[in-house]
Amino acid sequence: MIHRPPPSSLADLQARADALRGVSLGVLAAELGAAIPEDARRSKGWIGQLVEAALGADGGSRPEPDFAGLGVELKTIPVTKDGRPRESTFVCTAPIEGAFEGAWLESRVRHKLAHVLWVPIHGDHEGTLELRTIGVPKLWVPNPEEDAALAADWLLLSELIAGGELHRINARLGAVMQLRPKGANAADYAWMIDDEGGWVRAVPYGFYLRTRFTAKLIAG
DNA sequence: GACTGATCATAG
DNA sequence: CTATGATCAGTC
């Protein structure tokens, strides 16, 4: 697949993203010489990687922003025909091995979300991948209210992990952000000692943004 | 429709 | 193996 060179500036990135509005994934894949997967269920990350290639994301699978030079993270987000997100959005994994990250300002979550390019993907998930289309991309920087909401959830959830209170972790916690399993499958776990001194299974967790939060971000 | 727990693919 | 990219599938 052809991978375009990285954008030279924020304006360049914005312009390239805007140029993708309304383009179908079939057309985009053809332009980049990418093969379209037969089975959408087995191609969960394909759309994200296609858009990365189209926009020249250079972060690769390293723990850096997708557009390293610009400090911008790219997120594709599946939306319904009225533009509402279908799914929550994965942010990053949560360090389960005791390593408390320190302050919110230094956290991986905040670094990931400092500057995000949201690219909505429209389309029926029963249909084929190539008929889905790209919506209106939006560059986002958290405003003070959004940052405060994220910080509050991050503190709540991080303290549960740091305190070994794994049995209290579930996806219901957090107003705008939650912790959910992020492993290969249910067999993906480690054993560790929790706050009560007993051995417990520790599945890998990830931070996810709730649908109702991302809905506000990509609207208007 | 929203939500939760589980799962799939690829790169380095 | 760990990071990246997320969506699936069943239930509420």
- Asked whether the CA dihedral A76, A81, A84, A89 is positive or negative, the reply is negative
Nucleotide nearest to A65 (CA to C1'): C4
With beta carbons less than 8 A apart as the criterion, state whether A218 and A120 touch.
yes
Nucleotide nearest to A46 (CA to C1'): C5
- Asked whether the CA dihedral A172, A173, A174, A177 is positive or negative, the reply is negative
DSSP A183: S
Integer distance in angstroms from CA A8 to C1' C9? Answer: 41
- Report the footprint of strand C: residues with C-beta closer than 7 angstroms: A 40-41, 44-45, 47-49, 51-52, 59, 61-63, 66, 73-78, 86-90, 92-93, 121, 125, 180, 182, 206, 208
Specify the pTM: 0.94
Residues near A170 by Cβ (< 8 Å), separated by ≥ 6? A179
Q: What is the predicted pLDDT for the residue at A103?
A: 86
On the 0-12 / 13-18 / 19+ scale of CB atoms within 10 A, A28 is buried
Task: Give A18-40 pLDDT, tens digit per residue.
Answer: 999 999 999 999 999 999 988 88
Q: Which residues pair with A92 in a beta bridge?
A: A207
Q: What is the mean pLDDT of residues A188-205?
A: 87
